[in-house]
């Protein structure tokens, strides 16, 4: 019998569903270990995690669905979750429940049970409940819900084996006695009427209680998915009563909570009535307190910034570059010399190696930054950061958490754009990504310094400050314009403030592993490819002959071709144009290109710049460099985290803004 | 009186959630467990004056004043 079942499920598909902050990701990591992969849900940038359950005798594929409080049709997370289950992508639902928050968690469970799929409840954090002086009766809960209940502690790795066994035992297949919970009489009679209508239409859904309830709630997405005729919709509207849509939405939610509360009361008993003040509240007296909150927040942020982009991050970055140059480039050059390989081939090889170095050099900063952000998220601080900064960030149309990626943008746009994953709202995430390039990144500092050393050696500090300020002001302006055009509906910030907890190292390790794999897979190729393109443009002339002298190359021609664009900005020569083009590869390349095209050592670049620029045109160039599109690596992660259209739009918009601003500066600021 | 008009330390009972049909904010409010009859305690206000932190059922929630305005409440009768 069991064997038959096993054959039937060559590949059992399991979905993991639950509220946010229930330890869902931890459970997913415990069940799958390393056998997981991360992607995006089609069309949205909500993270999709899939994997295979460890230690099973047949493949069990598990999908981690986004954390939701309900299966309402509003947030992308809710729509993804319910569509995934409704579209028959799942044989079994594992509903993870936080035992310390049973009542609210059961509200989602009452909806999941209506879907009519096999459900196993993974009851997490029972140990914490006990520490609160309460005890939960699993058998009562199991009976009241009519499903299997498995107590676990995801954080302590308890009960995972039991849960895996329950998943593979397929016991739940025999467990058809779901307790379909009854609403009040009025609602029940309406559900029955809708059921009859759907039944008479031979709709497959007439037996799906979830669909029936949603039709009564007049859930637009579900109703349109049923492809009902107009007169059927009219009939249903009559059953509901035209003025009653709000009433049913409210009443159904209220009935569900009533049921949850009942179950909760029956299955949890107080063994210790002492009411303790939550430890988290005590910590929060300081952390989110009136006076200390903002200083502490800024200290934490600056610390993260300092570690990621300061000496430690830079050291790791140059270490990664060193590995490539000492470990690959040097032996390779000896080898190529020995083999007497021709110039073209060896220079091609070196272009690829340099590209690899570029890709790898991002990894340490990404790992450090992501590691620390994951610790903030896991410990519960990130929710506090949102609480503290929300009012300020809303002024530019963002929520509190968006402060973090924007600040990191001053270090490097690549990890900053990747870190927008901490944002829960799709539109907000896109706007934040769009604004990050305006935060002048660290790689631009040496470029600014070269120009400032030449023209404003006395006023370097104030000029630097003005450059950064200009970037920020443009970001504020762009956010304003963006909101005028897109008019995004303000999405609510109704967010749970989870208790503080000690972050799990197992989660951290898996998270960092996923992130690096993901970055190398999706972004590495683009960076590598564009290095090769620039190499090609730099090394060949228009008749495709290999040239040693860059000024003869296709790149120089291209520079000459676009230089007239800068006529009104005061730097319309092919040399600046070429420097700016290579700056698209990486901002550091601007200086090395300038020293090549001006035929000057980097130390003598001062002279060359003084000869080729005036104060006004130098300022215009600086403003252009500040505002023009970020490097190709940043654009690659831009595309990855949003979409191709947005990345292209930002490319065009930033170029135009930079051009207009540089023209204004050149013509208004005269010395 | 709405939740917006309360201050830290207040204990209130929800009377009604304002909002039209298919109102996302209203639905979110209800989905996290704020329904007529729910008892809430106002814990604190963020350092910059918005949002506010409330506690209900067994958990703490942060909610903006613009959303709190939709929640009609009365003081709990002791």
Check A101 against B59: CB less than 8 A apart.
Answer: yes
What pLDDT does residue A596 have? Answer: 79
The two three-digit tokens of residue A378, written as one number: 């896991």
Specify the range with the lowest mean pLDDT, choosing from A178-182, A248-252, A378-382, A413-417.
Answer: A178-182
> Which residue of B lies nearest to A295 if distances are taken between CA atoms?
B47
Identical topology for domains A2-173 and A185-270: no
Instruction: Please report residues of A whose CB lies closer than 8 A to that of B54.
Output: none
Contact A122, A97 (CB under 8 A): yes
What pLDDT does residue A6 have? Answer: 46
What pLDDT does residue A9 have? Answer: 53
Which residues 6+ apart lie within 8 Å of A322 measured at CB?
A: none
> Which residue of B lies nearest to A74 if distances are taken between CA atoms?
B24
Number of domains making up chain B: 1
The CATH classification number of A185-270 equals 1.10.287.1770
Confidence of residue A172 (pLDDT cuts 50, 70, 90): low
The two three-digit tokens of residue A365, written as one number: 């900063």
Arithmetic mean of pLDDT, A480-508: 85
* Min Cα–Cα distance to chain A from B17, Å: 9
Arithmetic mean of pLDDT, B3-27: 91
Could you tell me the CA-to-CA distances from A7 to A10, A15, A53 in Å, in that order? 5, 20, 17
Q: Convert the pLDDT of each residue in A458-483 to its tens digit.
A: 888 899 999 999 999 999 999 999 88
DSSP A546: B
With an 8 Å Cβ cutoff, is B7 touching chain A?
no
* Min Cα–Cα distance to chain B from A390, Å: 7
* Min Cα–Cα distance to chain A from B25, Å: 6
Q: Convert the pLDDT of each residue in A333-374 to its tens digit.
A: 888 888 877 777 888 888 888 778 878 888 888 889 889 988
The CATH H-level superfamily of A2-173 is P-loop containing nucleotide triphosphate hydrolases (3.40.50.300)
> Which residue of B lies nearest to A292 if distances are taken between CA atoms?
B47
Q: How far apart are CA A532 and CA A548, in angstroms?
A: 16
Check A491 against B47: CB less than 8 A apart.
Answer: no
Using CA atoms in the order A496, A500, A502, A505, what is the torsion angle rounded to 10 degrees? 30
What pLDDT does residue B77 have? Answer: 83
Three-state DSSP at A40 gives: strand
Q: Write down the H helix ranges in A90-184.
A: 102-114, 126-131, 138-145, 160-169
Arithmetic mean of pLDDT, A5-31: 83
Q: Which of A128, A250, A280, A490 would you mutate first to test chain B, the one with the most B CBs within 10 A?
A: A250
What pLDDT does residue A370 have? Answer: 86
Reply yes or no on whether the pLDDT at A16 is more than 90: yes
Average pLDDT along chain B: 92
Three-state DSSP at B48 gives: coil
* Min Cα–Cα distance to chain A from B7, Å: 14
Q: How far apart are CA A167 and CA A59, in angstroms?
A: 11
DSSP strand pairing (A47-52 vs A148-152): unpaired
What pLDDT does residue A247 have? Answer: 84
CATH number at residue B21: 2.30.30.90
Which sequence spans correspond to the domains of chain A?
Answer: 2-173, 185-270
Residue numbers of the domain that contains B53: 3-75
Helix axis angle, A311-324 to A343-379, nearest 10°: 150
> Which residue of A lies nearest to B49 if distances are taken between CA atoms?
A391
Confidence of residue A274 (pLDDT cuts 50, 70, 90): low
Average pLDDT along chain A: 87
Angle at A341 between CA A337 and CA A344, to 5 degrees: 115
- The helix (H) or strand (E) run that includes residue A301 is helix A293-309
- The helix (H) or strand (E) run that includes residue A134 is strand A134-136
The residue among A362, A165, A135 whose CA lies nearest residue A264 is A135
Q: Convert the pLDDT of each residue in A600-652 to its tens digit.
A: 776 678 888 898 899 999 999 999 999 999 998 899 999 988 889 999 999 99
Of the candidates B17, B22, B46, the beta carbon closest to that of A388 is on B46
Half-sphere exposure of A69 (CA within 13 A, CB side): 20
The two three-digit tokens of residue B14, written as one number: 């929800």
pLDDT higher for A450 or A488?
A450
Neighbours of A13 (CB within 10 A): 16
Instruction: Please report residues of A whose CB lies closer than 8 A to that of B28.
Output: 69, 72, 74, 492, 494
Arithmetic mean of pLDDT, A8-18: 83
Does ipTM exceed 0.85?
A: yes
Confidence of residue A22 (pLDDT cuts 50, 70, 90): very high
With an 8 Å Cβ cutoff, is B77 touching chain A?
no
Confidence of residue A229 (pLDDT cuts 50, 70, 90): confident
Arithmetic mean of pLDDT, A216-242: 87
- The helix (H) or strand (E) run that includes residue A49 is strand A47-52
Three-state DSSP at A96 gives: strand
Reply yes or no on whether the pLDDT at A242 is more than 80: no
Check A497 against B61: CB less than 8 A apart.
Answer: yes
Arithmetic mean of pLDDT, A498-524: 86
Reply yes or no on whether the pLDDT at A498 is more than 70: yes
Arithmetic mean of pLDDT, B25-39: 92
Which residues 6+ apart lie within 8 Å of A418 measured at CB?
A: A366, A370, A515, A519, A637, A641
pTM of this structure: 0.84
Check A289 against B59: CB less than 8 A apart.
Answer: no
Check B46 against A387: CB less than 8 A apart.
Answer: yes
Reply yes or no on whether the pLDDT at A418 is more than 50: yes
Check B33 against A290: CB less than 8 A apart.
Answer: no
Instruction: Please report residues of B whose CB lies closer than 8 A to that of A103.
Output: 33, 57-58
Reply yes or no on whether the pLDDT at A132 is more than 90: no
Q: How far apart are CA A267 and CA A251, in angstroms?
A: 24
Q: How far apart are CA A271 and CA A136, in angstroms?
A: 10
What pLDDT does residue A597 have? Answer: 81
Arithmetic mean of pLDDT, B48-66: 93
């Amino acid at each position: 019998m069991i064997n038959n079942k096993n054959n039937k499920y060559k590949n059992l598909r399991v979905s993991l569903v639950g509220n946010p902050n229930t330890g869902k990701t931890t459970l997913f990591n415990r069940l799958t270990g390393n056998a997981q992969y991360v992607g995006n849900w089609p069309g949205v940038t909500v993270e999709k995690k899939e994997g295979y359950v460890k230690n099973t005798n047949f493949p069990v594929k598990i999908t981690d669905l986004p954390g939701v409080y309900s299966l309402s049709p509003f947030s992308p997370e809710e729509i993804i979750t319910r569509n995934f289950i409704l579209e028959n992508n799942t044989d079994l639902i594992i509903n993870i429940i936080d035992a310390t928050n049973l009542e609210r968690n059961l509200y989602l469970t009452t909806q999941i049970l209506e879907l009519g799929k096999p459900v196993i409840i993974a009851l997490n954090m029972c140990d914490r409940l006990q520490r609160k002086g309460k005890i939960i009766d699993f058998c009562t809960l199991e009976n009241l819900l009519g499903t299997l209940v498995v107590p676990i502690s995801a954080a302590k790795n308890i009960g995972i084996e039991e849960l895996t066994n329950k998943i593979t035992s397929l016991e739940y297949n025999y467990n058809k006695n779901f307790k379909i919970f009854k609403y009040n009489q009025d609602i029940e009679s309406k559900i029955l009427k809708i059921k009859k209508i759907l039944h008479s239409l031979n709709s497959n859904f007439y037996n799906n209680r979830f669909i029936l309830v949603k039709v009564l709630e007049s859930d637009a997405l579900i109703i349109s998915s049923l492809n009902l005729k107009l007169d059927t919709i009219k009939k249903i509207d009559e059953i509901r009563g035209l003025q009653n849509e709000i009433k049913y939405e409210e009443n159904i939610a209220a009935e569900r909570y009533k049921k949850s509360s009942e179950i909760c009361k029956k299955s949890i008993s107080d063994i210790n009535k002492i009411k303790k003040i939550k430890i988290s509240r005590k910590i929060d007296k300081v952390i989110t307190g009136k006076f200390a909150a903002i200083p502490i927040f800024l200290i934490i942020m600056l610390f993260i910034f300092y570690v990621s982009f300061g000496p430690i991050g830079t050291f790791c970055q140059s270490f990664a570059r060193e590995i490539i140059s000492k470990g690959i480039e040097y032996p390779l050059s000896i080898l190529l010399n020995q083999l007497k390989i021709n110039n073209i081939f060896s220079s091609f090889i070196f272009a690829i190696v340099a590209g690899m170095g570029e890709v790898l050099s991002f990894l340490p900063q990404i790992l450090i930054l992501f590691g620390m952000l994951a610790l903030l998220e896991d410990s519960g601080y990130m929710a506090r950061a949102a609480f503290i900064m929300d009012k300020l960030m809303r002024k530019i149309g963002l929520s509190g958490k968006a402060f973090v990626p924007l600040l990191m943008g001053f270090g490097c746009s690549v990890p900053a754009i990747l870190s927008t994953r901490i944002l829960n709202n799709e539109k907000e995430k896109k706007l934040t990504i769009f604004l990050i390039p305006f935060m002048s990144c660290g790689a631009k500092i040496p470029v600014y310094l070269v120009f400032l050393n030449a023209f404003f050696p006395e006023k370097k500090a104030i000029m630097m400050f003005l450059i950064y300020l200009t970037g920020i002001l443009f970001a504020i302006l762009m956010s304003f314009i963006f909101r005028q055009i897109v008019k995004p509906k303000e999405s609510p910030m109704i967010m749970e403030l989870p208790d503080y907890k000690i972050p799990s190292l197992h989660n951290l390790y898996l998270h960092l592993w996923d992130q690096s794999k993901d970055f190398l897979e999706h972004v590495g190729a683009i960076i590598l490819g564009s290095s090769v393109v620039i190499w090609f443009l730099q090394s060949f002339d228009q008749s495709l002959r290999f040239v040693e002298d860059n000024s003869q190359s296709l790149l120089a021609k291209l520079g000459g071709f676009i230089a007239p664009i800068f006529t009104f900005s005061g730097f319309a020569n092919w040399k600046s144009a070429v420097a700016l083009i290579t700056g698209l590869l990486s901002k550091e390349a601007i200086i090395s290109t300038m020293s090549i095209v001006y035929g000057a050592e980097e130390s003598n670049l001062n002279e060359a710049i003084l000869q080729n620029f005036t104060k006004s045109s130098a300022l215009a160039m600086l403003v252009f460099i500040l505002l023009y599109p970020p490097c190709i690596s940043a654009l690659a992660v831009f595309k990855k985290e949003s979409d191709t259209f947005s990345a292209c739009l930002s490319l065009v918009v930033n170029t135009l803004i930079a051009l207009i601003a540089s023209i204004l500066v050149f013509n208004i600021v005269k010395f | 009186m709405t939740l917006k008009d309360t201050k830290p330390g207040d204990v209130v009972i929800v009377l009604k959630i304002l909002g039209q049909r298919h109102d996302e904010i209203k639905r979110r409010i209800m989905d996290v467990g704020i329904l007529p009859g729910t008892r809430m305690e106002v814990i604190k206000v963020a350092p910059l004056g918005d949002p506010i932190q409330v506690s209900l059922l067994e958990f703490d929630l942060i909610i903006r004043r613009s959303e709190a305005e939709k929640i009609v409440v009365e003081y709990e009768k002791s």
